[in-house]
Structure 1
Amino acid sequence: MQHTAIVTGGSRGIGRAIVDRLIADGANVVTCGRGERPADLPVAVIWLQADVSKAVDAASLVKAAREHFGPVTLLVNNAGVQVEKTVAQSDDDDWDLIMNVNCKGVFNMCRAALVDMSETGGVIVNIGSISGMVADPSMALYNASKAWVHGLTRSIAVDHGPKVRCNAIRPGWIMTEMAEDGFALANDPQKAMSDALARHPVGRFGEPEDIANMVAWLASDQAQYISGECFTVDGGMTAASPLNPGLF
């Protein structure tokens, strides 16, 4: 089917790869960010400057998609932020930033999109993280926010099926600016990156296109029997023992 899709945070990284893949698959796409429209965004893509933590902006995205293309049939909640702090280091502003974007933003978008989807059907794909099931050091609020996304995914699948299928993807180390910021926390970033790479059975870090491929499959008719699941896409990293195979 030809989807009317909304992808949040589609200006760069994983979000941009998802936008490009959906366009290639024939979808009509609306995307957004808090800045100006990227100059290289395909002309066919509708861009809105929006903050998904605001319910009015979420509603505007759904309205724009409906007016340009028809009822929303695919929502990909990709927009997210991170703060590199422990609980003891975090303040109220850190809490508000992380929870407003990573949690409230997903909630706002799902609630707005479900108006159409509850009538005509649809698919929701939430971008979670392996950090929501295994904690990254000094990323306390981010870790917690992604666990929340995984929980909401299951609730939407249970409450809004069979009209709506909802699943989450838990990316591992995908080479984006956020990943680089995470490695920068280490005392020796290069050593940390080398050690992390050694823990990947597939022998490489992920690329944004790896996540876009998974989104495309979950949005397709091939995944009609799949809902309420969280799929780890991390090159096998969290499947392995913490022993570094490079040391043996």
Structure 2
Amino acid sequence: MDHSTVIVTGGSRGIGRAIVEKCVAQGHRVVTCGRGARPRHLDAGVEWVQADVARPEDARYLVERAEQRFGRVQILVNNAGVQVEKTVLDSTDADWDEVMGVNARGTFNLCRAVLPGMLEGGGTIINLGSISGHTADPCMAIYNASKAFVHGLTRSIAVDHGPQVRCNAVCPGWIMTAMADDAFGLAHDPAKAKADALARHPAGRFGQPDDIAETVMWLASDAARFITGQCFVVDGGLTSASPLQPRFF
């Protein structure tokens, strides 16, 4: 893959940080964003934009900054995401606006902003979905729905805007980030819930942010040039396994 101009949303921590660092290591020109101030750990060569992806004007500005600094955007990674740990009955209008605003509308906003340039010169979009868009996590109603939206949008972009643009989604399972810790914290016994979840992974471990970053970089590369409109589950085998565990047999 040639050195490209890359936008990674939500690149300050967790999976986003791992993707940014992987892009830098491969020599790409990287622009990333978040709602707060520039993180101290960010590589000096990375352009930081303080932005809220839920706002269409911020999405457009992010693309404009990338084009002004580094030239046409060839790779977009929609990573920014938030979660609220509630059922439908417990969810408020503010919860809906927060989660759907960032996860669904934010992904839509960036795709819409970057597509005109990609249609002229080609490009690839990788959206961060989730296994929660395929199988519902308890007490995560709006989050689950937001990721199902991302999966559907991914397929639509691939169908509507190929062959100039390839669009795929990566659907992480349990990746050890602050968001995962928050989800385990919902359990009556978080330690027991975490141990049970680990036992359900044929890979024998939880995922790390770098596992997702590697998949993203592969999808962005020429090695994946015939792949578009797909949602890749990266979950250590979690969703392939029966709830019955081998230790009981």
Q: Please report the TM-score for the alignment, with normalisation by the length of structure 1.
A: 0.99
List 4+ stretches of structure 1 deviating above 2 A: 244-248
Does residue 29 in structure 1 map to residue 34 in structure 2?
Answer: no
The number of equivalent residue pairs is 248
Does residue 162 in structure 1 map to residue 163 in structure 2?
Answer: yes
Alpha-carbon distance in 1 for matches of 2:63, 2:245: 46
Counterpart residue identity of residue 44, structure 2? V
CA contact (8 A) 1:84 1:138 kept: yes
Question: Once the 2 structures are TM-superposed, how far is the Cα of residue 115 of structure 1 from its aligned partner?
Answer: 1.5
Question: Once the 2 structures are TM-superposed, how far is the Cα of residue 247 of structure 1 from its aligned partner?
Answer: 3.5
Q: Show the counterpart of 2:227.
A: 226
Q: Show the counterpart of 1:178.
A: 179
Q: Show the counterpart of 1:58.
A: 59
Q: Please report the TM-score for the alignment, with normalisation by the length of structure 2.
A: 0.99
Deviations 1:57-91 (A, max 9, x none): 10111011101111000000000100000001111
* Alignment map for 1:194-233 (pairs within 5 Å): 194-233=195-234
Deviations 1:20-43 (A, max 9, x none): 001111110000000010001000
Alpha-carbon distance in 2 for matches of 1:3, 1:186: 43
Q: Show the counterpart of 1:118.
A: 119
Does residue 75 in structure 1 map to residue 76 in structure 2?
Answer: yes
Query: Any idea what SS the aligned residue of 1:60 has?
Result: helix
Q: Which runs of 5+ in 2 are unaligned?
A: none
CA contact (8 A) 1:195 1:244 kept: no
Root mean square deviation, CA, Å = 0.7
Alpha-carbon distance in 1 for matches of 2:188, 2:247: 20
Q: Which runs of 5+ in 1 are unaligned?
A: none
Question: Once the 2 structures are TM-superposed, how far is the Cα of residue 3 of structure 1 from its aligned partner?
Answer: 1.3
Query: Any idea what SS the aligned residue of 2:145 has?
Result: helix
Question: Once the 2 structures are TM-superposed, how far is the Cα of residue 244 of structure 1 from its aligned partner?
Answer: 2.6
